[in-house]
Amino acid sequence: MEYGNSPLFLAIEGSVLKLDPNRTYTMGRDPQSDVVLQETFISWRHVRIYWGATSWALEDPNSTNGTYGLGQRIPLAEAGHAAVFHLGNGDEGPELQFARSPMPPEGADTTSVTRIGPSSDNDLTVDVGTPHGTYVDGHHVERTRLRPDDTVTVGHQ
């Protein structure tokens, strides 16, 4: 079991997603899903992932073709470190891999976007109306690509 609101990462179809325990994630063919899957055997709303009282949970709300863990169709399961599930087909459906580490599986897309701005739906909310600007490693920027060790300062140098 995962105790203490553990961070968890999900790898699916070459991408890695850091799961926020304050959110519920959805996957399916619905374009409004957090992870949109195109396979015809995937249901519109195929699966939900959320932080329960003591662990991460993966729930299949009666999808047509099911969700599989260890080859068995499951309606609800703990989604902790090293858990693996398949959607829609126990052998060949999209694979969900969970891990405590952000290390992506081999060949995964490691490109990540952090949205910064004044809106509360951004990953980092800032007051972009500041007259003092935004700086990366002490250099004033309007727009730039960030590297892992960069220091971002907003409002003053």
The pLDDT tens digits of the residues spanning 76-86 come to: 999 988 999 99
Indicate if the pLDDT at residue 103 is higher than 60.
Answer: no
> How many residues in the chain?
157
**Percent of the chain with pLDDT strictly greater than 70:** 75
For the whole model, what pTM was predicted? 0.63
3-state class (DSSP) for residue 62: coil
pLDDT for position 56: 93
Q: What is the mean pLDDT of residues 10-35?
A: 90
Could you give the CA distance from residue 119 to residue 123 in angstroms, rounded to a whole number? Answer: 9
CA proximity to 140, closest of 121, 154, 128: 154
Q: Which amino acid, residue 74?
A: I
For residue 111, what are its two tokens?
A: 């490109």
DSSP 138: T
